[in-house]
Homo-oligomer: A and B are copies of this chain.
Amino acid sequence: MQTIQDYIANHKQRFLDELIELLKIPSVSADPAFNQDVLNTADSIKNSLEKAGCDKVEICETPGYPIVYGEKIIDPKLPTVLVYGHYDVQPADPIDLWDSPPFEPIIKETDIHPEGAIFARGACDDKGQMYMHVKALEYMTQTGNLPCNVKFMIEGEEEVGSESLAWFVPRNKEKLANDVILISDTGMIANNIPSITTGLRGLSYVEVEVTGPNRDLHSGLYGGAVANPINVLTKMIASLHDENKHITIPGFYDKVEELSREERDEMAKAPFSLEEYKNALDIDAVYGEEGFSTNERNSIRPTLDVNGIWGGYTGEGAKTVIASKAYAKISMRLVPNQEWREITELFKNHFESIAPKGVKVKVTPHHGGQGYVTPIDNIGYQAASKAYEETFGVTPIPQRSGGSIPIVALFEEELKSKTILMGFGLNSDAIHSPNEHFGVWNYLKGIETIPYFYKYFTDLSN
């Protein structure tokens, strides 16, 4: 029977070409200008699933972008794996910081990726990692190596909050019934240090608007006499952290899970070089909450970051104006047990309460989601761990991620099954940034590893 290694050797170039075609479609869900491209991407995924051997594939309409569903049921008595991924991507801007156009994929070698990496928006997050599962399925169906049932659910709004998925899942519990959910939308420590993500942070994303005078004003005639919305906004945002970088929103930390000294010591064993970290980002120092390490700050601790700010004159040269309005997009990463809707409410009430006289403040919640933890004694985790051992030759390290996949908590609530996060990307792949890329080696290694997960999960399910 043909091994996955042989199959990859025979079809490697086609696997790359197909992904590159998929990456050419600018499926930016955040920007209505790309509406048709997002829809075209859904069609493309549908075709890929059919070619890969799914018996039944459908584009499921939702209040927003459609969800592509596909399944291959070989025997109802066998376990079922539900694969989740997303076909939408982050906006590409700032475009001018890309070395090559974000939607014209090219393969280039890098220090970390000597076998080349595919540079394109969505290469890693999540088209590349999602497509590994499609190609793994192709191998299993073409060579008679599919040991259990499989379902695919690929959505188009992950980068904007998965609202339509949250609408779709509760309405399709029967269709989505499964024994484990498999997702590749996270990373691993290094190509020689595989890791499996066991924790995710939650998220609360809001937009704030500060309005001062009812029109832009001449800063000479009014300067110093009226509240300048930009100055006020900077003061309000600055006050959200104290001198120890703790977040000052009352009640923000009330439900934060406090890890034991033992758990923190265990985490600290993961290989990490602060020097390499600083050099990779070209910073002279890290910056964050007092009393926690860099790896703790970006995984087990909640945060508050401004993701965008704008107001007044931002063009060439000088304009002596006092703007009528100033805006900011602010997101908070949350840890397990923090309820995102409650945190959003705490932020809204606090931010409105600190507005000085002379301005009006509006807080608009964008979206959010819960944090999540996978126990490592779960058979899904065990199957994944064995799969990595087969293909990497070492046991993967369980790792908390600072990122968020809000719908993972929803899956557990609605579908009563655990999610296994098998990520093959690297932190250096620049997801959400200019020059996002995904290693060719990582892409093929993912395709190689996934079938072993199916094998071991089926075995362990008996």
Interface residues of A (CB under 8 A from B): 29-32, 90-91, 93-94, 97, 159-161, 187, 201, 203, 205, 212-228, 230-235, 237-239, 241, 281-289, 294-295, 297-298, 301-303, 305-324, 326-329, 331, 333, 356-359, 366-367, 401-404, 427, 430-435
Given contacts A223-B303, A224-B303, contact A308 B313 (CB under 8 A): yes
Tell me the complex Cα distance, A320–B160, Å. 9
Q: Which of B213, B239, B282, B319 contacts A30 (CB 8 A)?
A: B319
Cβ–Cβ contact A403 & B307, under 8 A = no
19 A-B pairs, CB-CB below 8 angstroms?
Answer: A31-B316, A91-B317, A159-B318, A217-B432, A218-B432, A220-B298, A220-B333, A223-B305, A226-B283, A230-B309, A232-B287, A233-B234, A235-B241, A307-B319, A309-B309, A309-B311, A309-B312, A318-B331, A318-B366
Q: Which of B313, B367, B434 contacts A91 (CB 8 A)?
A: B313
Cβ–Cβ contact A314 & B318, under 8 A = no
Cβ–Cβ contact A215 & B285, under 8 A = no
Cβ–Cβ contact B216 & A287, under 8 A = no
Given contacts A218-B431, A225-B297, A235-B238, contact A322 B309 (CB under 8 A): no
Q: Which of B31, B225, B311 contacts A315 (CB 8 A)?
A: B31
Contact partners of A232 in chain B: CB under 8 A: 287
Cβ–Cβ contact B203 & A320, under 8 A = yes
Contact partners of A285 in chain B: CB under 8 A: 227, 357-358
Contact partners of A237 in chain B: CB under 8 A: 231, 234, 238
Tell me the complex Cα distance, A328–B329, Å. 17
Interface majority SS on A: helix, strand, loop or mixed? loop
Contact partners of A297 in chain B: CB under 8 A: 224-225
Tell me the complex Cα distance, A359–B283, Å. 7
Contact partners of A241 in chain B: CB under 8 A: 231, 235
Contact partners of A312 in chain B: CB under 8 A: 306-309, 329
For residue A34, give the distance in angstroms from its CB to the closest CB of chain B.
Answer: 10
For residue A13, give the distance in angstroms from its CB to the closest CB of chain B.
Answer: 30
For residue A245, give the distance in angstroms from its CB to the closest CB of chain B.
Answer: 8
Cβ–Cβ contact A226 & B97, under 8 A = no
Tell me the complex Cα distance, A187–B218, Å. 12
Cβ–Cβ contact B224 & A333, under 8 A = yes
Cβ–Cβ contact B433 & A218, under 8 A = yes
Cβ–Cβ contact B319 & A314, under 8 A = no
Cβ–Cβ contact B238 & A298, under 8 A = no
Cβ–Cβ contact A402 & B221, under 8 A = yes
Contact partners of A30 in chain B: CB under 8 A: 315-319
Cβ–Cβ contact A315 & B91, under 8 A = yes
Given contacts A307-B312, A308-B312, A320-B307, contact A298 B224 (CB under 8 A): yes
Q: Which of B31, B281, B402 contacts A223 (CB 8 A)?
A: B402
Contact partners of A227 in chain B: CB under 8 A: 283, 285-287
Tell me the complex Cα distance, A104–B305, Å. 43
Cβ–Cβ contact A322 & B298, under 8 A = no
Q: Which of A94, A314, A326 has the most CB of B within 10 A?
A: A314
Cβ–Cβ contact A321 & B160, under 8 A = no
Q: Which of A213, A315, A430 has the most CB of B within 10 A?
A: A315
Contact partners of A302 in chain B: CB under 8 A: 224
Tell me the complex Cα distance, A169–B28, Å. 54
Measured CB to CB, the nearest residue on chain B to A222 is: B298
Cβ–Cβ contact A310 & B306, under 8 A = no
Contact partners of A223 in chain B: CB under 8 A: 298, 303, 305, 331, 333, 402
Contact partners of A329 in chain B: CB under 8 A: 312-314, 318-319
Contact partners of A32 in chain B: CB under 8 A: 316
Contact partners of A226 in chain B: CB under 8 A: 281, 283, 286-288
